């Protein structure tokens, strides 16, 4: 399992779905205290169970980010 490979060397969070991941990333960014926080979509694993391909996943990420409150 990928999480076991990371161990405690890298902080990570299992989100399960893109909606949960974007919401969590938005909360973390807002709590960072930075004037212009950046969130990078960088999935560690494939998501063929949720999206046809990486382009569709990227489009879905973009659409979810667009509707986040400022």
What does pLDDT average to over the chain? 86
21-55 CB burial, b ≥16 within 10 A, e <16? bbeebbeeeeeeeeeeeebebeeeeeeeeebeeee
Highest mean pLDDT among 4-13, 18-27, 40-49: 18-27
Confidence of residue 44 (pLDDT cuts 50, 70, 90): low
Confidence of residue 60 (pLDDT cuts 50, 70, 90): very high
């Amino acid at each position: 399992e990928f999480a076991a490979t990371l161990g405690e060397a890298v902080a990570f969070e299992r989100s399960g779905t893109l909606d949960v991941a974007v919401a969590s990333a938005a909360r973390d960014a807002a709590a960072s205290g930075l004037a212009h926080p950046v969130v990078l979509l960088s999935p560690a694993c494939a998501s063929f169970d949720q999206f046809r391909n990486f382009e569709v996943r990227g489009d879905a990420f973009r659409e979810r980010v667009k509707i986040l409150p400022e």
